[in-house]
Amino acid sequence: MLITYTAILKSKKEVAPQVFHLQFSYPTDLNWSFQAGQYMIFHLPTMESGHPVRRLYSIASAPSQKDTLDFIIEMVPGGIGSIYIENMCEGDSITMQGPAGIFTLKPSERDIVMLATGTGIAPMYSMTREILLAPHSLQREIHLFWGLKFKKDMYLKNELDVLADAHPHFNYSVCLSREKESIDAHCLVGRVTIGLQKLIEKNSDLKTNFDFYLCGSPHVVEALKEELLKYDVPKAQIYFEKFT
């Protein structure tokens, strides 16, 4: 159900250079809910080219989490939305509208491969937690590959470690494109496609066994789509969200 409400910023933490984890008050409407992977529309109290400014941010928390609505947002230098959010303080309010978006989990018996870069992890984290923490968790395997540049850019690692330790059918790798050495068993050196190559080494039949969820900048998503199509993965098994 689409609603517009006044959200109060309850917590704001810089979790990596210029990346913030923000927790807002949850809508009070008891009938309101969202699907993992959806986003909210932020109504910024400013104008751009004569029009009210709107920005779209994926929800990072799982639908089963009812105390706060969480977001992971990277500050873009000079960006109107980034400047406003960077200046927000705990207790400030903002108008939000949502949920919106069709980048959601699809009914399927195939295992799941998630390929994300940067803050594209937000909807993937929401999806992963919703699947794993559900009372009757699906036993589909989840393979998450998350592309970042440096180890200093990492966040959520402790949370992902906890999920991986508790759920044998979930595994993840952080793919660090600018590092020379791996940090631990959950890190790979290279772009996010190195994770895909590791998966292919273990299971060459991608089209039969997996559904693919992609999230990142437009050029990254397009490149990943083309890579999957080379392996004859049907377009119907590739779902994506592009961040601009």
Give the distance from CA 121 to its chain's centroid.
Answer: 3
Residues with Cβ within 8 Å of residue 195, at least 6 apart in sequence: 115, 143, 145, 147, 173, 175, 188
Residue 137 confidence (pLDDT): 61
Domain boundaries, the chain: 3-100, 111-242
Pairing between strand 111-117 and 142-148?
parallel
The answer to whether domain 3-100 and domain 111-242 are alike in fold is no
pTM above 0.85, yes or no: yes
Secondary-structure class of domain 3-100 per CATH: mainly beta
Nearest residue to 160 via CA among 180, 178, 176, 142: 142
Fold topology of 111-242: Rossmann fold (3.40.50)
Distance CA 127, CA 37 (A): 6
Beta strands in the chain (DSSP E): 3-16, 19-25, 39-48, 51-58, 68-74, 93-100, 111-117, 142-148, 170-176, 187-189, 210-216, 238-242
pLDDT tens-digit profile, the chain (244 residues):
899 999 999 999 999 999 999 999 999 999 999 999 999 999 999 888 889 999 999 999 999 999 999 999 999 999 999 999 999 999 999 999 999 999 999 999 899 999 999 999 999 999 999 999 876 666 789 999 999 999 999 999 999 999 999 999 999 999 999 999 888 889 999 999 998 888 888 877 788 889 999 999 999 999 999 999 998 999 999 999 988 7
Q: Using an 8 Å Cβ cutoff, are 173 and 195 in contact?
A: yes
pLDDT digits (tens, 9 = 90+) for 124-180: 999 999 999 876 666 789 999 999 999 999 999 999 999 999 999 999 999 999 999
